[in-house]
Amino acid sequence: MAHVLGQNQYGKAENRIVRVYRDSTRHEIKDLNVSVSLRGDFEDVHLTGSNANCLPTDTTKNTVYAFAKEHGIDSAEGFGVLLARHFVDSTERGVVRSARIRIEEYGWERIKTPDSSSRFIGSEEVGHSFVRKGQEVRTTEVVYDGDRFRVVSGLKDLVVMNTTNSEFWGYIKDRYTTLQEAYDRILATQVTARWAFGFHGRDGEPEPNWNRSYQQVRRHLLEAFAETYSYSLQQTLHAMGTRVLNNRAEVDEVRLELPNKHHFLVDLEPFGLKNDNEVYFAADRMYGLIEGTVHREGVTPVIPVA
């Protein structure tokens, strides 16, 4: 019986890179985790053992580090575009037909110390000292096939909470339903968001301002979460995606994954205490997982379900 080699790809995963800019005493840093995956004419590598069309994964790793020095890193998206274009357009004999670059970016904040002129008034930044941000991780995926780009940016591990303005009632009930209706509850979730750009990089099309776009999408996600009076996490998800599309013309699609981080009131009656929506048990497992995509009319969604 004949066997056929199916879809295949290879690359170098999780290249951890920290780029330090020392142009002044106020240093800047970029901290990335970069994964490269290539598709192309690799049948012989698998079937005959010939490596004539194989770009070593070590070379892809070296390229990531060299590009960080030669081109710098202004944004995760821009860096991904540079790498993807290089691997497809510059590889010998064009054996690489498509490149996918996935990047996670880790944020850092400057450490502040008391103002040297006074122990009690003001503070100043230390130009070379940083503390890792305890908030979200920025993500991006860039795919280039020699003709057009597909850029999907995002964030993960962004934990948010509303302590009121959330209800959940009127749902289906059957013999197995024990959940009590809630008319004033905590709504908390750990946001994973991905958004696809209309940018394709054809005919000299300018790239969006990636950093500003990220900051503004994040802002609209948070504002929609905070300002929506919620009757379900599904409703909140739709409001978040819609808010982004209404305010960011460069974004065509938003996909959200929102695990419901349940908070249950603790029964304090055995201790003679009344719990007036003040003390909760925060359960990390199990959890409801709410997922959905909001996209512009006429746009075919491109973000895959994770």
Residues annotated in a binding site for O2: 57, 260
Q: Identical fold at 8-147 and 154-306?
A: yes
CB 79 within 8 A of CB 73: yes
Q: Is the pLDDT of residue 305 over 90?
A: no
Place of tokens 């509303």: 162
Q: What is the pLDDT of residues 201-254, one digit of tens each?
A: 999 899 999 999 999 999 999 999 999 999 999 999 999 999 999 999 999 999
Our CA angle for 46, 48, 50, nearest 5°, is 85
Residues annotated in a binding site for urate: 57-58, 168, 185, 234, 260
Positions marked catalytic: 12, 57, 262
Residues annotated in a binding site: 57-58, 168, 185, 234, 260
Q: How many residues does the structure list for the chain? A: 306
Q: What is the pLDDT of residues 31-74, one digit of tens each?
A: 999 999 999 999 999 999 999 899 999 999 999 999 999 999 99
Tokens of 139: 């993500």
Q: What percent of the chain has pLDDT over 70?
A: 96
User: 52 vs 44, 45, 55, 93, CA distance in Å?
Assistant: 8, 8, 8, 10
Tokens of 282: 């925060």
Question: What ranges do the domains of the chain cover?
Answer: 8-147, 154-306
Tokens of 97: 């037909």
Q: What is the pLDDT of residues 153-203, one digit of tens each?
A: 999 999 999 989 999 999 999 899 888 999 999 999 999 999 999 999 999
Q: What is the DSSP code (8-state) at residue 75? A: -
Fold of 8-147: Urate Oxidase (3.10.270)
CB 258 within 8 A of CB 294: no
Question: What would the CATH number be for the domain defined by 154-306?
Answer: 3.10.270.10
CB 82 within 8 A of CB 69: no
Q: Is the pLDDT of residue 258 over 50?
A: yes
Q: What is the rounded CA–CA span in Å between residue 99 and residue 145?
A: 7
- Does the global pTM surpass 0.95? no
CB 39 within 8 A of CB 97: yes
CB 219 within 8 A of CB 250: no
Place of tokens 């070593």: 56
Residues annotated in a binding site for 5-hydroxyisourate: 57, 168, 185, 234, 260
Beta-carbon contacts of 139 under 8 Å, excluding residues fewer than 6 positions away, are 76, 102, 103, 104, 105, 153, 154, 155, 156, 194
